[in-house]
Amino acid sequence: MKIGLALGSGAARGLAHIGVLKAFQEAEIPVYAISGSSMGAFIGGLYAAGYDVFQMEKLIYELDWKIFTEFFDLKITKSGLVDGKKIDRFIYEFIGDVKIENLDLKFCCVATDLFTGKEIIFNSGSLIKAIRASISFPGVFIPAYLDGMFLVDGGLKNPVPVNRLPEDCDVKIAVHVGPFAEKDDFINKYYSNGENFVKDNNIFVNSINKLLKEILRINIDNGKVKYPNIFEILVQSIAIMQEATAEYVMDDVDCIKVKPDLDGYKLTDFTKAKEIISIGYEEGYRLVNQLISMEDVYESK
């Protein structure tokens, strides 16, 4: 059975992908193909390049986030906080100079053309350049410049690229780790035929009110309101807007939807990596048991 995994965007919440992959690795269930967006592209790219999930866990758990920040030498520039060359060097430390077409399993990831808004699919060429483009969150990482295009985070256009898995996959699995906005009328009214934005001012205002409550996460302490920092607001706002697109893509493909229970975990909670990976593992374990009941699950060719 050819199993394809689509690993979605989600910043720190995307660390749950490591847990999902760990469950597959422990059960010795082969993965035929991976598609990824943003953090999903990074984790999926490492796995496709032969990086062991236990190595990933060890790396994440031992990572000193203060050193991590100093490595990137954060500073304000006109295009972003983190220099592109530093990102390239960071990714290179993990996987070296690898071509996507030479990986042991089928892999692709997505990025977004900053000026046309088009989805750019990487299924060949440099894995480093592909991941670099897919994780380039606007305003934080300087856009990746490739073939005359300025490329940014793949999650802006396709947060869970399950529709980019190979057609010959017998089972397609979408792992969605983004923060979930109120779906009710918001998704349906904002998307006509899944694509066209409908300007409904009443729904818009009501939805914005809901989103502000989610973004601000207001806590009262001694009569004072604690507001999130600007990075948290930026990340959370974009992630919430991605939700409608993610739901549309997943609904349009015959796939198994997996949504780890990450309520209460923010997109910036990298210091809670162990908890997030554990939650991903629990969801992956349930998924693996479901797959084991299927015929030929251990055959990937």
Provide the 8-state DSSP code for 178. Answer: S
Closest to 136 (Cα-Cα) out of 110, 99, 101? 110
Q: Which residue has the tokens 């991941």?
A: 131
User: How buried is residue 93: exposed, middle or buried, by Cβ count under 10 Å (0-12/13-18/19+)?
Assistant: exposed
Q: Which residue has the tokens 């396709």?
A: 158
| pLDDT tens digits, one per residue of 32-62 | 999 999 999 999 999 999 988 998 998 888 7
Q: Residue 136, SS3? A: coil
**How far does Cα 101 stand from its chain's mean position?**
22
| Among 64-68, 87-91, 163-167, 238-242, the least confident range | 64-68
Provide the 8-state DSSP code for 141. Answer: B
Q: Is residue 192 part of a domain?
A: no
Residues 146-173, mean pLDDT to the nearest whole number: 95
Q: Is residue 175 part of a domain?
A: yes
Query: Given this model, what pLDDT does residue 151 score?
Result: 95
* Pair 33, 101: CB distance under 8 Å: no
**What residues form DSSP beta bridges with 119?**
112
Q: Is residue 200 part of a domain?
A: no
Number of neighbouring beta carbons within 10 Å of residue 152: 28
Residue 8 belongs to domain with CATH number: 3.40.1090.10
Q: If you average pLDDT over every residue of the chain, what do you get?
A: 80
| pLDDT tens digits, one per residue of 217-253 | 444 444 566 666 666 677 767 777 777 788 889 989 9
Q: Is residue 106 part of a domain?
A: yes
Q: Which residue has the tokens 């592209």?
A: 41
What residue type is 75 in one-letter code? K
Percent of the chain with pLDDT over 70: 72
Q: Is residue 298 part of a domain?
A: no
Closest to 161 (Cα-Cα) out of 56, 44, 51, 46? 44
Q: Is residue 222 part of a domain?
A: no
Give the chain's domain count.
1
Examine the pLDDT at 275 and tell me if it is beyond 60. yes
Query: Given this model, what pLDDT does residue 146 score?
Result: 93
* Pair 161, 248: CB distance under 8 Å: no
Active site residues: 38, 153
Q: Is residue 154 part of a domain?
A: yes
Give the whole-angstrom CA distance, residue 98 versus residue 263. 36
N-term to C-term CA, the chain: 7
Q: Is residue 216 part of a domain?
A: no
DSSP, residue by residue, 64-124? -HHHHHHHHT----SS-SB-HHHHHHHHHHHH-S-BGGGSSSEEEEEEEETTT--EEEE-S
In terms of pLDDT, which residue wins out, 56 or 84? Answer: 56
Query: Given this model, what pLDDT does residue 184 score?
Result: 40
* Pair 149, 2: CB distance under 8 Å: no
Domain with 58 in it: 3-179+253-292
